[in-house]
Structure 1
Amino acid sequence: MIVRRAGVADVAVLAELRGIDGDQLGAYADWVAAHAETHLPFVAEVDGYVVGAAWLLVAERVPGNGSPDRWYGDIQSVMVREEYRNRGIGAALMAAILAEARTRGLLHVTVHSGRRAVDFYLRNGFSQHRQLLFWEPAAS
């Protein structure tokens, strides 16, 4: 297995993993290109076949007293093809993303997980944080 940063040549497979079909591919490719500095895709390959992907959003917080650079990360859109799950591919994607976070000196990395994946993130070094609060607009 190889885990690497994805590039322009990977847009079609990234779209496929997200369930984005052909008529939306152009808009998706444009979005990926427009967000290349802030949304970093990683892919996992087995024998040249992309079997999973995950994204690292890199964003900047408002400067604080004595701390002008306050960058953080957020993991998004993690997906491993069903037939390749439970083989360490997700963990390898997380290792690559967290290595990137360390290299960039990010303050922290967050993830908004579905219930089924919470244990996966806990096994990969994340912890639950009681101060993280969530707001959603009321349904209309």
Structure 2
Amino acid sequence: MADAAALAQLRDIDADELAAFTGWIAAHAETHLPFVAELDGQVVGAAWLLVAERVPGHGAPQRWHGDIQSVMVRQEHRGRGIGGALMRAILAEARARGLLHVTVHSGRRAVDFYLRNGFRQHRQLLLWEQDAP
């Protein structure tokens, strides 16, 4: 992928880990879709859509959902609508693929951003986390 180095930089992945990251992108090309925002030929933001299949249900042999991951816009480009453009692109892809729903695990500072972009808090979403060693 041509943007692998820029995506790695956004994720704070060191140059010595770039080959492994590029390999990860290639190995996950069917399930982890990168969306890249560019200005003047420079990558200024990115977000990923994880597409996963759910267990079939009665009358629904295929059930797909999405999860937004690793949304990042460079500090100097924030507040210009770039993040919103990334969300519109991801949600358009989700609609085109017929995903049942899309989730996002947000940090506190970004909750309002996701609410402005069509997400809502859901009382049935529960979370289990691994205990720290």
Partner of 1:5: none
- Percent of residue pairs identical: 78
Provide the residue aligned with 2:11 in structure 1: 18
Gaps of at least 5 residues in structure 2 are: none
Give the aligned length.
133
One of 111, 114, 117 as aligned partner of 2:107: 114
CA-to-aligned-CA distance 1:86-131 (integer Å, 9 cap, x gap): 0000000000000000000000000000000000000000000000
TM-score normalised by the chain length of structure 2 = 0.99
Unaligned runs of 5+ in 1: 1-7
What is the distance in 2 between the residues matched to 1:21 and 1:138? 28
Q: CA deviation at 1:138?
A: 1.9
Which residue, 95, 101, 106 being the options, matches 1:102? 95
Q: Which residue of 2 aligns with 1:35?
A: 28
In structure 1, C-alpha distance between the alignment counterparts of 2:81 and 2:26, rounded to whole Å: 29
Query: Which residue does 1:79 correspond to in 2?
Result: 72
Aligned to 1:66: 59
Q: 1:69 offset after TM fit, Å?
A: 0.8
- Report the CA distance between 1:137 and its aligned residue: 1.9
Matched, 1:46 2:27: no
- Once residues 122 and 109 of structure 1 are traced to their aligned partners in structure 2, the CA distance between those partners, rounded to angstroms, is 13
Residue deviations 1:32-51 (CA, integer Å, cap 9, x gap): 00000000000011111110
